[in-house]
Structure 1
Amino acid sequence: MNEHVQSTGSEPLFNPLAPEYIRNPYPYYERLRTMDPVHLNVHGAFVASRHAEVSLVMRDKRFGKDFSERTIRRYGPKIMEEPAFRSMSHWMLQQDPPDHTRLRGLVVKAFTARRVEDMRPRIQQVVDETLDRIIPQGKMDLIEDFAFRLPVTIICDMLGIPEEHREAFYNGSRDGGRLLDPVPLSPEEIKQANAGNVMAAMYFHQLFELRRKQPGDDLTTQLVQAEENGHKLTNEELTANIILLFGAGHETTVNLIGNGLLALHRNPDQLALLKANPGLITNAIEEFLRYDSSVQATGRVALEDIEDLGGKRIPKGETVLCLLGSANHDPAVYPDHPEKLDIRRPNVKPLSFGGGIHFCLGAQLARIEAEIAISTLLRRIPDLRLDDAENPEWRPTFVLRGLKCLPASW
C-alpha cells in the first residue's frame, strides 16, 4: 500500500490488508466513522462506514454494480480476458437488471423459506454424523473438521454433486477470498485465480453432462434445463453462477460458525447464558452476524452523479465500498455498547447479508445452518475449550472475514 498518498505522513485511514486490520478492524472503523465517514481511499474508491450511508447505497437505484466498467478502470482494458474476471462478470452478484433479474429468477425457488425450513432434519443429521465421528478423538480444528463440512455438504446436496465426488471438495483449498478484496490483485494472484477458475469450470462441465443424462431433483439439473431451452442462460453464465453458488454457499457460512464460536468463547458470560438458555440461539445468530460479520464489505458504482453522500460528491462511475462490519457497529443504530457481544440485544438487524436487489439469496439457509451447528456443538460437547481464544489465526483476506483454524479440545 502506498502510504505516501497522504502528505501528513500519517497512516492511511483505510488499509484493509494490514495485519492489525485483519486481526481487529473495528477500532479502525470507529476512526473512519468519526473522522471521515465517506472516505476517498488510496485506490480512488469512496469508503462508506456509517449505517445511514451504507444502507442507502445498497438500496438506492442510482447505484449499481457495473462490474466490467469498474474492473477495467482498476486494471486496464485487457483484464476482462482473464478467465477469473470473465467468470465473475457473469455472477448474478455482479450484474445489474435486467440480467440480474433473469439470473436470480432461475435460482430463487431453491432458497425460499419453505424449502430451507424443510432442510432442517438433513442439516441436523450432517452435524450429528460429524460429531459422532469426531467426539472420540477429544480434539479438533473447529473450522476444518466442523464448520467447513456442514455447508459444503448442504451445497453439494443442493447442486446435486454425487457423494463420490465430494472428498475433493472437503479437502479443497479456501484461498479464493482475495478476488473480492478492494485492493488490486498482483499478476501472480491473478494467475492463481485463473487456475482455480479453470479447475472449477472443468469439474462443473462434467457435472452438467451427468445431469443432462441423469436429471435429478437439484439446482444444477434445473439450470441445465434452462440453458437447453435457450434464451434463459448461456453456458458461460451457467458455469459462472454454479461456481458462485458453490463458493457463496459455504465460504461465508463457515466463517459465520467460526466467528460465532470464537466470539462466544471470548465472552464466557455469553457462552454460559446460551448454554443455560438454548432458546436464545436465534437471536444469538443475529448478534454474531452483527458483532463479527463474515462479509465485511460490498461494493456499488454510482450510475449517475450523486451530489451528496455523507457530505461528499460521488461522480458517475466511481465506486463506493460499503463497510458492512462498520455499519453493524454504528452507535447511531446500536447505542448500547456496539463493541460488546450481547446475545440478548434487542432489534438486531445486521447488514451482513447486504441489501436491495442483491440481498443474500442464502441468508435463511446460513442462519439455520449456523443455528443448528452451534447449538448442537454446545449441547454435545459442553466442556469444549479453545486452545487459544486470544490469538487465533485469521485468513489474510478482508472482505471475507474468517479464521484459518480454531483448534479445540474436550
Structure 2
Amino acid sequence: MTEDAVPGRELYSDEFAADPYPTFARLRTDRPVCPVSGRFDQYLITRFDDARVALTDPRLSKDLYGPGQHYLRIFGPNSAGLNRNMLNADPPEHTRLRRIVSQAFAPRRIEALRPRVARIVDDLLDKVLPHGRSELMHDFAIPLPMTVICELLGIPPADHGRVLDWTQVIRTSGSSGRSAEEERAAVQDAQLRLHHYLADLVRAKRARPDDDLIGALIAACDDDAALSEAEVVATTFLLLFAGHQTTADFLGNAVLALLTHPEQLELLRTTPQLLPSAIEELLRFDGPLPVASPRIATEDVEYPGGTVPRGAIVGVVINAANHDPAHFADPDRLDIRRVRGPHLGFGHGVHYCLGVSLARMEAQIGLGALLRRLPGLRLAVPAAEVRRLPAASPFRGLLELPVTFAA
C-alpha cells in the first residue's frame, strides 16, 4: 500500500455513511483507482468504465482461499466453513458451483413463486395496517425476503426466528455500541452457530430428503459428486444471506429515497406501470451493495484511472460507478422515468447476481403493495435521524425506518 493511501477514517465516517456520493464524485475525478487503508488495505475503483472492465477482468481473482490465503485479511481465520463458496471462486470452480444452483433460480421457476410472495407481503402488511405506524425494516423489509429464501431453501418455519437473529448480528455489526473486540466475538459466535445449524440441517435432509433447494443441492452431491457436503453447507449460507440481505436493504433504501423525493413518490403512485423502471433507478440511485465483493490482483493491472499492484485487494465501487456522469445524465437526481441504462447494481460478468429475477419480483410486489396499501406514507422522524448501518459495513442499508400512514 502506497504512502498516499486515503485513510479509512476519511471514507468511513458517519458523514460518509449518511451521503457517500460527494466523496465518490471526488474520487472519480481525482483518484479513480485509489489506495485506501482501513480494516484491510485495498484499492477502490470508482469510474464506470474501469468498474465494468474490472468486474470481468481475469487478472482480478475471486479465489480468496487459494494461494496466498487472502481471506485471512478480509474474513479472518474462521471463515472457510461459510464463505468458501462460489462467490469467492474463479472459473472453472465457480462455473461448476453456479451451474448446479442456477437451475433453482431460472426465471420460470421464480415466477411460479409470485403468488406465495404476494401472500407473504399481504400478511406482513395486515399486521401493521391497524396501527398507523411501523418500523418498516423490522416489520417488512427484512422479514419479506428472509421468509421467501428460508422457504425456498427448506428451513423449517420454527427455525426462521433464530436464523434471522444470527444473520442480523452479522448484518448490523458495528452498530451496537460495544467495543470492536466484543463486536468481533459476537459476529464469530453468530457465524459459528449458523454454521453448526446449517450443517445439522443438511445432515437431517440427507437422511430424509425434501423437495426444496437444499434437497436439490444434496441430490447433486449424491448423484455425481458435483458438490461435497461442505460445499452444500457453504452454498446454503451464501444463498441464505445473499437471498435476503441485499433485498432487505434495497427495500429500505428505496422507500427512504421515495419518501425524501415526494414528487417521485407521487408519480409512482399515480403511474404504477413505472414500477419496473423505478426499481432499476432506485437500485442505481442508492444500491445496497456499494462495493462488490473483494478481488485479488494476480499481476499489476493498469486501467485508464490508475494501476492496481499485484497482490492488492480490489474493491469495485458499484455505487460510485452508478453515479458516473460519463454514463448517466444528472446522476445524483432520482428520476424513475430515466431510460434504463447499463447500471452495475446487479454486478456484471460471470458473477452477475444469480438471484436477480427473485430480487426484482420481491421488490415489485413489495414496493407496489406498500404504495397501494399504506396511504399517506411518510417518515416518522426527520430524514437525517434515520439510523443507518455503520459506514464500515459492506452493506448500505438502514437499521430502522420509522414511518406513519393512514390507518
TM over 0.5: yes
Tell me the percent identity.
36
User: CA distance change for structure 1 residues 311 and 269 in 2, over 3 Å: closer, same or farther?
Assistant: closer
What corresponds to 1:352 in structure 2?
Answer: 345
| 2-structure distance, mates of 1:350, 1:357 | 16
1:362 aligns with 2:325: no
Residue number in structure 1 paired with 2:271: 277
Q: 1:297 to 1:86 in 2, by over 3 A?
A: same
Partner of 1:121: 115
Q: Do the aligned partners of 1:22 and 1:394 also contact (CA within 8 Å) in 2? A: yes
Moved more, 36-45 or 111-120: 36-45
**1:304 corresponding residue in structure 2:** 299
After TM superposition, the structure 1 = structure 2 runs for residues 80-91 of structure 1, keeping only pairs within 5 Å, are 82-83=77-78, 85-91=79-85
2:350 partner letter: I
Deviations 1:163-215 (A, max 9, x none): 222232355552324899xxxx9665443332122111221123223322332
Aligned to 1:27: 22
Q: CA deviation at 1:88?
A: 4.6
Contact 1:293–1:325 (CA under 8 A) maintained in structure 2: yes
What is the CA distance between 1:315 and its match in structure 2?
3.0
Alignment equivalent of 1:165, drawn from 153, 159, 163: 159
Q: Alpha-carbon deviation of 1:72? A: 4.2
Runs of at least 4 residues of structure 1 off by over 6 A?
none
Q: CA deviation at 1:318?
A: 2.0
Aligned twin of 1:400: 395
Q: Check conservation: 1:274, 1:280, Cα contact below 8 A.
A: yes
Question: What does residue range 365-376 of structure 1 map to in structure 2 within 5 Å?
Answer: 365-376=358-369
Equivalent residue in structure 1 for 2:254, among 240, 251, 260: 260
Question: Residue 371 of structure 2: SS of its match in structure 1?
Answer: helix
Give the aligned length: 396
Corresponding residue for 1:95?
89
Does structure 1 conserve the Cα–Cα contact (< 8 Å) formed by 2:166 and 2:194? no
In structure 2, relative to structure 1, the CA distance for the partners of 1:145 and 1:136 (3 Å cut) is same
The equivalences for 1:282-293 within 5 A come to: 282-293=276-287
Deviations 1:213-264 (A, max 9, x none): 3322211001122233463122222111111111111010001110000000
Is the contact made by 2:380 and 2:403 (CA closer than 8 Å) also made in structure 1? Answer: yes
Matches within 5 A, 1:160-199: 160-172=154-166, 174-177=168-171, 188-199=182-193
Q: Distance in 2 between matches of 1:385 and 1:20?
A: 24
- What secondary structure sits across from 1:109 in the alignment? helix
Please say if 1:61 is aligned against 2:54. no
* Distance of 1:243 and 1:29 partners within structure 2: 31
CA distance in 1, matches of 2:42, 2:67: 10
Deviations 1:327-347 (A, max 9, x none): 000000002x11111000113
Contact 1:16 1:398 in 2 (8 A): no
Residue 215 of structure 1: aligned partner: 209
Q: What residue number does 1:384 align with?
A: 377
Deviation sequence 1:117-175 (CA, Å, 0-9, x none):
11111111110111112211221111010111110111011101122222323555523
1:116 & 1:75 partners in 2: Cα distance? 36
- Find the residue that maps to 1:46 and give its secondary structure: strand
Quote the residue 2:32 is aligned against: 37
Q: Which amino acid aligns with 1:133?
A: K
Q: Which segment is superposed worse, 285-294 or 11-20?
A: 11-20
Residue 12 of structure 2 is aligned to residue 17 of structure 1: yes
State whether residues 246 and 288 of structure 2, in contact with CA within 8 Å, keep that contact through their aligned partners in structure 1: yes
1:409 corresponds to which of 401, 404, 407: 404
Counterpart residue identity of residue 40, structure 1? P
Residue 65 of structure 2: SS of its match in structure 1?
helix
SS of equivalent residue, structure 2 residue 22: helix
TM-score by length of 2: 0.90
Q: Would you say the 8 A contact 1:88–1:94 is kept in 2? A: no
Write out per-residue CA displacement over residues 2-36 of structure 1, whole angstroms, 9 at most, x where no aligned residue.
9x9559xxx74884431111111101000100111
Partner-residue secondary structure (3-state), 1:394: coil
**Secondary structure of 2:168 counterpart:** coil
TM-score (norm 1): 0.89
